[in-house]
Amino acid sequence: MNELTRRDFLQSAAAATAAGALVPSIAAASNGDPGLPSGPVVVSSANGLRATEKAATMIRSGADTLDAVVAGVNIVEEDPEDYSVGYGGLPNEDGVVELDSSVMHGPSCRAGAVAAMRNIKTASSVAKLVMQRTDHVLIVGQGALRFARAHGFEEVNLLTDKARKIWLHWKENLSDRDDWIGTEVPDDDAQANALAALPFTYGTINCCAVNPSGDLSGVTTTSGLSFKIPGRVGDSPIIGAGLYVDNKVGAAGSTGRGEAVIKICGAHTVVEGMRQGLSPTDACMAALRRIVETTTEKRLLRDDGRPKFDVKFYAVSKDGRHGGAAIWSKAQYAVYADGRNRLEPAEYLYERPEKDKDA
Ligand code: GLY
């Protein structure tokens, strides 16, 4: 058995069986070594089906797991139709898109990140270069932009017309005690309409992968909380919060309310749960319970005491098991495993009430 000890493996397998793990038999799925997956396993948030497909294809062709997951999320970062990431992401309160991203490479135990970076579509690629070409882990704001410029990244206005209209709708309807006159919902795009009706949104993409050698990497990238105060940094570029990879154990990442994830060192908590023998799904659930326990401010709680917001964790273990969990039901996560790319239902703490906009 490779880097997992036999005891660790037996513990995690027992926990997985008890929890009704999503991968029925690790031993049956493996290629002679019961501690390793037989092919790539890639997990992502529900907006990452193209990322998991791309990353798995690259890993099957021999690519490094970090190159693979970054190439996967680049597709979504460059997609103007995804309002939560990169080009087309929703802007800050001034109407300017600011991006956060982090990467971790398991085999070399290295990490890189950028935060509050403007004008560059693929924040994850810049984060990877911070890891590869500097002695730093996190570069923010103007410094991140200047670093990206130095590496030849093209500068563009990240605010698409659709995202601008959603922002303008938010701004014009903020208050009836200012000089902006409220408008109707911006256009006939269903997603734009839904977003315009929300007070805030925290969309993000996380993608983590393990290859048949048991090497892991992960990436998280986002335009962050919509209409945030300029300079606000969420969990995505914080190593241990929005992303954590330990090549001996597994990888995890998050989407949802970053402030809640930062306070419990979310992704690190998930990976530590797997280290203690929890299945990926159970480790995600344990971290979510900690978020609920630490959410005590009344303004963040519904009348029944449950959080008004949602957080989702995604995890993959070194032996190829995977899982995802959310505070509220009806969430899914993307996964490539056993040669198939699909969405799977995420485990959850609470049944989502009908017409619940806040959660
Ligand atoms: N999870 C993304 C954010 O809070 O910025």
The answer for residues whose C-beta is within 8 angstroms of residue 355's C-beta and 6 or more apart is: none
Least-confidence region, from 105-119, 121-135, 343-357: 343-357
Q: Is 255 in the pocket of ligand 1 (CB under 6 A)?
A: yes
Instruction: Give the residue, out of 232, 255, 262, with the most ligand 1 atoms within 8 A of its beta carbon, to mutate for a pocket test.
Output: 255
* 186 has a pLDDT exceeding 90: no
Paired sense of beta strands 138-140 and 110-117, if any: parallel
Q: Is 89 in the pocket of ligand 1 (CB under 6 A)?
A: no
End-to-end, the C-alpha distance of the chain in Å comes to 42
- 21-28 mean pLDDT: 36
- Which residues does residue 45 pair with via DSSP β-bridges, in sequence order? 333
Contact 279, 321 (CB under 8 A): yes
Q: Is 234 in the pocket of ligand 1 (CB under 6 A)?
A: yes
* pLDDT recorded at residue 353: 84
Q: Is 72 in the pocket of ligand 1 (CB under 6 A)?
A: no
The answer for residues whose C-beta is within 8 angstroms of residue 10's C-beta and 6 or more apart is: none
3-state secondary structure of 40: coil
* 265 has a pLDDT exceeding 80: yes
State which ligand 1 atom lies nearest to the alpha carbon of 232.
5
Contact 148, 140 (CB under 8 A): no
Residues 274-313 have pLDDT tens digits of 999 999 999 999 999 999 999 999 999 999 999 999 999 9
State which ligand 1 atom lies nearest to the alpha carbon of 254.
1
Which CATH architecture best describes the domain 32-356?
Answer: 4-Layer Sandwich (3.60)
Question: 189 burial class (0-12, 13-18, 19+ CB within 10 angstroms)?
Answer: middle
Q: Is 204 in the pocket of ligand 1 (CB under 6 A)?
A: yes
State which ligand 1 atom lies nearest to the alpha carbon of 258.
4
Taken as a whole, the chain contains a residue count of 359
Q: What's the gap between Cα 202 and its chain centre? A: 10
Contact 325, 284 (CB under 8 A): yes
Q: Is 224 in the pocket of ligand 1 (CB under 6 A)?
A: yes
* 172 has a pLDDT exceeding 70: yes
DSSP states of 209-224 as a string?
EE-TT--EEEEEEE--
Active-site residue flag, 295: no
The answer for residues whose C-beta is within 8 angstroms of residue 230's C-beta and 6 or more apart is: 92, 93, 94, 96, 98, 116
Reduce the secondary structure of 279-317 to three states and give it as a string.
Answer: CHHHHHHHHHHHHHHHCCCHHHECCCCCECCCEEEEEEE
Instruction: Give the residue, out of 100, 221, 264, 291, with the most ligand 1 atoms within 8 A of its beta carbon, to mutate for a pocket test.
Output: 100
